């Protein structure tokens, strides 16, 4: 993150960072913006809906990259989203057949079918957070 922001600054490039999953990463974007850089970022719906407790329950069906994190991280991501530090929420839709999600953590497909859930997430949990 810091390297990409540094290189964008040195070259005068716009920068868009994808799939951010930690508040600390968002804070780097905010710092860069406050310094006048043209930096935007997005995160994915699953970082606002799933946490590592659920990973214990559903296993490799929740495997994604970056990985889901703990509930405290999720709550801080919601705060970053609701205060406008995150420019958008995406699905990071990466479909596969169910058999590809089986096996060990290193064998299972790393993507998820979030195209069908991200809008619902925003309209339910997201709406409740701002209402
Ligand atoms: Zn992706």
**Residue-wise DSSP of 39-68:** EEEEEETHHHH--HHHHHHHGGGG--SSPP
**Å from CA of 45 to ligand 1 middle:** 12
> What is the distance in angstroms between the CA of the first residue and the CA of the last residue of the chain?
32
Domain range for 125 is 2-130
Q: Tell me how far the alpha carbon of residue 115 lies from the centroid of ligand 1, in angstroms.
A: 12
Q: How many structural domains compose the chain?
A: 1
Per residue in 85-125, pLDDT (tens digit) is 999 999 888 888 989 999 888 999 988 877 778 888 888 88
pTM: 0.87
Residue 97's CB is within 10 A of a number of other CB atoms, namely 8
Q: What is the pLDDT of residue 13?
A: 97
What separation in Å is there between the alpha carbon of 66 and the centre of ligand 1?
9
Domain harbouring 22, CATH code? 3.20.20.140
């Amino acid at each position: 993150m810091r390297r990409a922001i540094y290189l964008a600054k040195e070259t005068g490039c716009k920068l868009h960072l994808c799939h951010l999953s930690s508040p600390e990463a968002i804070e780097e974007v905010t710092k860069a913006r406050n310094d006048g850089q043209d930096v935007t970022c997005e995160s994915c719906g699953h970082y606002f809906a799933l946490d590592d407790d659920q990973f214990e329950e559903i296993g490799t069906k929740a495997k994604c990259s970056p990985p889901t994190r703990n509930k405290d991280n999720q709550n801080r991501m919601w705060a970053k989203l609701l205060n406008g530090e995150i420019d958008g929420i995406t699905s990071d839709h990466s479909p596969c057949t169910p058999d590809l999600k089986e096996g060990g953590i290193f064998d299972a497909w790393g993507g998820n079918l979030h195209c069908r859930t991200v809008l619902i997430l925003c309209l339910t949990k997201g709406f409740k957070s701002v209402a």
